[in-house]
Amino acid sequence: MSIQLGQIAPDFEQDTTQGRIRFHEWLGNSWGVLFSHPKDFTPVCTTELGAVAKLAPEWAKRNVKVIGLSVDPVDSHHAWEGDIAETQGSAVDFPMIADPDRKVSNLYGMVHPDADPTITVRTVFVIDPNKKVRLSLTYPPSAGRNFDEVLRVIDSLQLTDAHKVTTPANWKHGDDVIIAPSVNDETAKGLFPDGWKTLKPYLRLVKQPGTAK
């Protein structure tokens, strides 16, 4: 199964390191980040789980719940968490899904047979409070994921959901944004009374809504 942007993230019930959950119920009204790992006790993923744990205040600031997954059972996850805390200096404070039956992996298309039919690929899904998938990324085994980029995209999604803007290449919170093409100049005057910079009729830059003047 291939999950496409805009689709409702498949619901499931599965055991985790923090008890059995039903995914949609667990998410509630939060944003979610679901990220998979090929298996426990792998080096790159050990660093990733530590990095995500260290970002706990940033996830909370954005109303985001994070949850990991691998095909190993819960007791293996718990043992791995000890290694993560020891080597990365941060305890894993979010649930890890146990998926030995590949139920969730298959729901989300995380098993790529041409890569390895026995393990999951390293995928990231960002899910909004309406349970829609808003971002999906798949990484190779050798490259650690950049969770600053995941935060950056969540910032963009939350901003553009709230205002009629889009964000340019390499945008970071506080940078100028683009007035959405669907907004004509007349409407834009009411939305952005301080004005904007027109580079082309279709490319109008404006200060990020909500930032100090």
Q: What is the pLDDT of residue 121?
A: 66
Q: Exposure of 94 by Cβ count < 10 A (0-12 exposed, 13-18 middle, 19+ buried)?
A: middle
- Listing DSSP states for 12-39 in one string gives -EEEETTEEEEHHHHHTTSEEEEEE-SS
CATH code of residue 99: 3.40.30.10
Residues 44 and 88 in one domain: yes
Q: What is the pLDDT of residue 16?
A: 97
CATH code of residue 190: 3.30.1020.10
On whether residue 120 sits in a domain, the answer given is: yes
| Whole-number Å distance between alpha carbons of 65 and 32 | 5
Rounded (10°) CA dihedral 103, 109, 110, 116: 100
Residues 30 and 132 in one domain: yes
Residues 129 and 176 in one domain: no
Residues 140 and 62 in one domain: yes
Determine the structural domain holding residue 34 and report its residue range: 13-144
Domains identified in the chain, total number: 2
Residues 74 and 105 in one domain: yes
On whether residue 213 sits in a domain, the answer given is: no
Residues 42 and 73 in one domain: yes
Q: What is the pLDDT of residue 114?
A: 52
Instruction: Examine the residue annotation and report whether 45 is marked as an active-site residue of this protein.
Output: yes
Kindly report, residue by residue over 112-164, the tens digit of the pLDDT: 555 554 455 689 999 999 999 999 998 888 889 999 999 999 999 999 999 99
Q: Which of 9, 34, 45, 53 does the annotation list as catalytic? A: 45
On whether residue 76 sits in a domain, the answer given is: yes
Task: Please list the ranges in the chain whose pLDDT falls under 50.
Answer: 117-118, 213
Residues 170 and 121 in one domain: no
Residues 110 and 183 in one domain: no
Residues 19 and 111 in one domain: yes
On whether residue 156 sits in a domain, the answer given is: no
On whether residue 152 sits in a domain, the answer given is: no
Q: What is the pLDDT of residue 115?
A: 54
Q: What is the pLDDT of residue 3?
A: 86
Q: Can you give the pTM of this predicted structure? A: 0.91
